[in-house]
Chain A
Amino acid sequence: MTPTRPPGRPAGDLISPAQNTWCPGCGNFSIEHMMKSAIAELSEEEGIPLENFVIVGGIGCHGKLTDYLNVNSFYGIHGRSIPAATGICLANPDLKIICHVGDGDIYAEGLDHLIFAAKRNSDITVVVHDNRVYGLTTGQYTPTSPTGFKGRSTPGGITEHPINPLELMLAAGATHIARGYTKKVRHLKDLFKEAIMHRGFSFIDVLQICATYFNLTDYYNAHAYELAEGEVDTGRFESALGKIREWDYDREAPIALGTFYSVERPTYEEKFQALTAGRPDRRALVRKVIEERR
């Protein structure tokens, strides 16, 4: 299965020859292709070398994307992509680091990391494949499944309410918050590009169709709309919050797609860079520290 790749590959040649095993009709395909295009276009338009992109995956159907794109990748473990991404960014802030995570993966297992990455304003992009169900483990409920959802572990239907991840991220301090939908591919690609270029923590919740376990295509088609220019003031917390609360992942309401919030703040990684700059002779520094203790 290992592909042979011609040297000097063109920017568009980003799909790997790894065999794709997603179900027909899965929303992950749109995410894959739009991410591929976003990377290719950013590389051409902004002059970012392709080798500077890194995809970090969680575990779930979404995580397979790390195999399917022919860029640097770290196919990690369930819920833990974000601290790994932060480490990568600390080591090399020139990289464009994109976490592809699932809603079970990141809102259940990895929630603490998500909140803290937002709090720190770590310079990474998090793309949540939010199909509102566990795909790879065959159909259990997730933190964003609607009340009453009947999954394989909850045949009587859940009585819990879903969390609104955008509201959570706003409260946690994320500096860029957006929502996309896998049936609006052009829009999705633009959201990806914008988020990747944002300096600081970017978060995109992508309403992703799970064709097998929770196909909400009709529901989303009926409710989703793209935010118009100026409909939210993306620099104002209250304005973003109002729009974010329009739909709570449960009740019948219009579902806004687009960027809700985007502000500039210092990033977590930048203050650490000065410490390790240059090529210091650390053994001499060790001696110095010991000498000071005499």
Chain B
Amino acid sequence: MGEYSVLIGGKAGEGINTAGLSIAALFSRLGYRTYMYFDYPSLIRGGHNFAIIRASARAIGAHRTPVDVLLAFDQNSIDNHRERIHSGTTVIYDASQVVEAEGYGLPLDTILNEEKAPRITGNSAMLGALARVAGIGREVLEDVLRESVPAKHLDANLRVAGRGYDGADRVFSVEPLGGPALPVLTGNEVTGLGLVHGGLESYVAYPMTPTSNVLHFLANHAEGLAIKVLHPENEISVILMALGLAYAGEKAAVGTSGGGFCLMTEGLSLAGMAEIPVTIVMGQRPGPSTGLPTYTSQADLHFVLNAGQGEFPRLVVAPGDLDETYAWSATALMLSWKYQVPSIVLTDKTLAEGAFSFDIDAVAPHPDQEPVLWDGTGEYRRYARTGGGVSPLAFPGREGAVVKANSYVHDEAGFTTEAVDETIRLREKMLEKGESLSRELAGYPVVRSYGERNAGATIVCWGSEKWACIEAAEKLGARVVQPLVLAPFPTRAFKEAMIGAGRVACVENNATGQLARLLRQHGFEPGRSVLKYDGRPFAVDELEARLAEVFS
């Protein structure tokens, strides 16, 4: 086969996410690249959660509808996924819960009773049965458990996993690949690590799906990464604290989703006017308002491009996978400091909470960038007009400098002014800074493309839809063009990438075609929009079918 899809489903509270990650680890151990999509409603217990884990010899970042193995803790996990079951699908189910199914029934209640194991170890029985069905050796299974289960629960899990293993038969054989076992990380985790690579010293956030896990992950590793992690009273406080940190010389980032970002917009404008660097991780989910809190969307593009009063330059990047997330989170932070502009790392639930094999050695890191610091000569002026629009930074506590940051229109020293000439000079300085940033970005991979240039058909996409598009394009013989920087818009690089594009389709997770609108604003014809707005990302096969209609 060479490529495998496994679905595991059950009620919220049964540890489906963790079980999914263990399944990914199982394949990863054999040298496979894995991707996991996790789907869950906004409730803590009950309902229906599921994870689809795909493993392949090559890098992947999207799921497919059909699955090879379905692991069902309850009847819903079978009934809700009938379309995924085909003649080759092996079903493994909890025989104590599921009333109607064909496949291997594991009597989990009995097993857990006999092994005197807690309910949550039921996951290990499923994992064991999966290993057996996939022809994966017991040693590999036990290894994976040893690494993922805390020592005091290990024994029970090993016993239960063994029972699962014995409860099924080998159906196919997952051949070990030579490659290294790559760690499996989520978009949120890699965003945090990328920020630290870029120089992060403090992370400030108020919990909100889908970026809460950046907060949890960094808080858990605050000591290991030597950073401060802060959770204040609300998002207004979050961004203001970050601006205070930055004013005093410490590199800070914040994380949120649409609702929290609404509250941050006054701080965003302040960052723009006072020229204080801050990086905002903005994980999209469906709105308006609370929307679908645990699902995915790409509907906040124009919100982040236009948020805040007035006009000021900002950097907006939209990575599509872990490599890009790592490199661009770091770069967003570094460029934010070099140009003293706010930067936004735009992710979404699919990327933020999706898990991927991560090969840090394969990441091509972008160049390091340093902020422009005051050299200590003459009188310090916080907003000195120098070439390129960027004023050297000094921080309070520095002898000989009076550092005056200001939210009003201000003169070079930072004093409030309402004078016509000063107002114009300030505006022009800010515009100039934006142009300098734009020029710098020309040296970065701001637009990426995949496939042959003369393919005759081009799929344009952004963010987490990247990998579904790449796979669909391969099948359809099309090319993919993915702008990674959305502000300042890389007009030149995009134009270059679109030479000979042929027929164009623009794939997005929203209802109005927001990237298409942005392209039109910059003078490009975005072709046909292929949109999905049910809160779920495109499955590769689903996208193939939709694109086949467009390109036929």
Contact = CB atoms under 8 A, between A and B. Distances in A.
B55 interface: no
B162 interface: no
B449 to A, nearest CB: 28
B405 A86 contact: no
A291 B359 CA distance: 10
B491 to A, nearest CB: 33
A275 B397 contact: no
A294 to B, nearest CB: 5
A54 to B, nearest CB: 5
Contacts of B381: 2
B406 A75 contact: yes
A94 B397 CA distance: 8
Nearest to A84: B244
Contact of B236 (A7, A80, A89): A80
B415 A77 contact: no
Nearest to B242: A87
Interface string B357-377: 010100000000000000000
A20 to B, nearest CB: 12
Given A54-B396, A282-B199, A272 B412 contact: no
B512 to A, nearest CB: 32
B511 to A, nearest CB: 34
A90 B202 contact: yes
Nearest to A7: B400
A193 to B, nearest CB: 20
Given A72-B396, A75-B404, A75-B408, A88 B244 contact: yes
Interface in B26-44: none
A80 B226 contact: no
A75 B404 CA distance: 8
Contact of A88 (B201, B223, B396, B416): B396
B126 to A, nearest CB: 22
A92 B396 contact: yes
A116 interface: yes
B397 A92 contact: yes
Nearest to A56: B244
Given A76-B407, A86-B244, A92-B396, A51 B401 contact: yes
Contact of B240 (A7, A16, A87, A91): A87
Contacts of A72: 396, 401-404
A240 B57 CA distance: 71
A88 B225 contact: no
Nearest to A72: B396
A1 interface: yes
Interface string A257-291: 00000000000000010011010101101111111
Contacts of A278: 226
Contacts of A283: 196-197
A171 B369 CA distance: 47
A286 B404 contact: no
Interface in B342-395: 358, 360, 379, 381, 395
A245 B398 CA distance: 43
Interface in A54-75: 54, 56, 59, 64, 66-67, 70-75
B236 A88 contact: no
Interface in A82-126: 83-92, 94-95, 112-113, 116
Most B-side CB within 10 Å, residue of A66, A77, A85, A278: A77
Given A51-B397, A289-B221, A88 B247 contact: yes
Contact of B416 (A51, A67, A80, A95): A67
A49 interface: yes
Contacts of A4: 379
A228 to B, nearest CB: 38
Interface stretch (B181-189, B457-465, B480-488, B533-541): B181-189
A251 interface: no
Contacts of B133: none
A58 to B, nearest CB: 10
B245 A88 contact: yes
Contacts of A87: 204, 240-248, 252
Contacts of A54: 248, 396
B241 A83 contact: yes
A83 B225 contact: no
Contacts of A293: 183-185
B426 interface: no
Contact of A66 (B185, B246, B404): B404
14 contacts: A2-B415, A51-B396, A51-B400, A75-B407, A77-B266, A84-B241, A87-B240, A90-B241, A90-B245, A91-B247, A92-B249, A112-B237, A113-B236, A285-B224
